Copies of this chain bind each other. A is one copy, B any other.
């Protein structure tokens, strides 16, 4: 039920920084995984494991933005905290615009980093719960036949069976059957439940 414990992924090419951060975060009770470059992190981290990442912006090869872009273009999202020694304002603005939780400068204050990590873990948890709901919804939607999907759309839009029949070129009786099967597959009993279920996602 609880799933694996959240992990803080550290990516920094400076081994001393890595060890210092790991010590700090471990002492605060976090599980920590260390990587010395972007590729290693992207290859080895498991998107299924909850957590956040603390990235050095100035990595050799692919930098922090590269990681951010790589994660954004995939399905796996993970809250990011940037950490940099020589960053400038445009870099920080770019990172924040792209959804970073925080953008900290070295040397970083312990409390600032821990607060950012705490916030990032909260955000990750929310995103995962959101994602679970969405995937559970999509799983149920995938069980519907094409016709049932059409009926679902019109039911959520507030149409009566009679109207749905008209729009789909059939009779009310048929719609009742599709509708009943659809409600079963979606696992809801009332229209209100159905609308709350599907309207929350597509907004």
Contacts and interface: CB of A to CB of B under 8 A. Distances in A.
Interface string A174-196: 00000000000000111111111
Interface residues of A, number: 28
Interface string A73-102: 000000000000001111011001100001
Contacts of A35: none
A18 B189 CA distance: 61
Count of identical protomers in the assembly: 2
Contacts of A193: 158
A168 interface: no
Interface SS of chain A = helix
Contacts of A88: 89
A155 interface: yes
Contact of A96 (B97, B192, B203): B97
Interface string A142-154: 0000000000000
A155 B195 CA distance: 12
Given A155-B192, A199-B200, 6 more contacts: A89-B105, A92-B96, A158-B191, A158-B193, A158-B196, A191-B195
